[in-house]
Structure 1
Amino acid sequence: MALDKPYKDIPGTIIFDAEQSRKGYWLNQFCMSLMKAENRARFKADERAYLDEWPMTEEQKQAVLARDLNWCMRTGGNIYFLAKIGATDGLSFQQMAGSMTGMTEQEYRDMMIKGGRSPEGNRYLGEDGDAQPQHQPQGAAGNNKGA
């Protein structure tokens, strides 16, 4: 039985919960293997062959090969493990975060220095300062907006 996940409707957000952890177990184990220099060298020498040593899904392998960290996260990757791929490629976490947002490293840095992204459109669906209707206490469906 699936658990109720009220956080599933946060736009552009993948919550790393138990389900994601199970889905991404081997992807994340692969990432952790990159902490050893000999594994990084083997991976860089023949990425596909090294990935094929891991019982990951084909989609996970394709996401790694594409270096699409958002795709990796959708398939169960945890950003803190996925950072090992970026480090293997010589990227900083800031460069990786920029790539995940469609920004250059400089654009991402400038945005963060200015306080980050606007919360507009980046909260849960239906949010306007009130709780989501399905999460309001019984009898609270009608709010007093404009009153």
Structure 2
Amino acid sequence: MTMQVELAQSPFDPSLRLAAFSAALEDEGAVVSFTGRARGRGADGAAVSSLVLECYRGVTLQSMKAIAADAHGRFAITASIVIHRAGLIAPGEPIVFVATASRHRRAAFEAADYLMDRLKTEAVFWKREEHDGTSTWIEPTALDREDALRWREKVNENAGN
């Protein structure tokens, strides 16, 4: 099992990270990746000049590692990488990159989806959008919470089988 978790303070290239991740694999038949990018417009449609992600490095990194370890314990994946930005992020820049690998596609897809749902709602970050001299704090939405909750429900559904 290979698990890599990184908290990045500067921009990174997801395509280069995916190429390196894939090159290190052995006999996996599936690789799934996701890249989240900073949007140029807020939920209200206002232009966003930057996204700021604040964190306590040790606490945030520990929360990310716990989420990744949970994914490895839950899904038949052989490798994963999670990179999440912190600091000032310009519109269009990658915020988060997740890749998973497994022998078969279903585990890789589900693990990547699980990682993103948990990172979005549970990783320890404080997020705000900057626009025209003002800022707006961002919290996970009700839909984000529903997405994360479905994984708890799947555990409960599978517990009786």
Q: TM-score, normalised by structure 2?
A: 0.29
Larger Rg: 1
The answer to which structure has the higher strand fraction is 2
Q: Larger relative CO (CA 8 A, sep 6+): 1 or 2?
A: 2
- TM-score, structure 1 length as denominator? 0.30
**Greater share of helix residues, 1 or 2?**
1
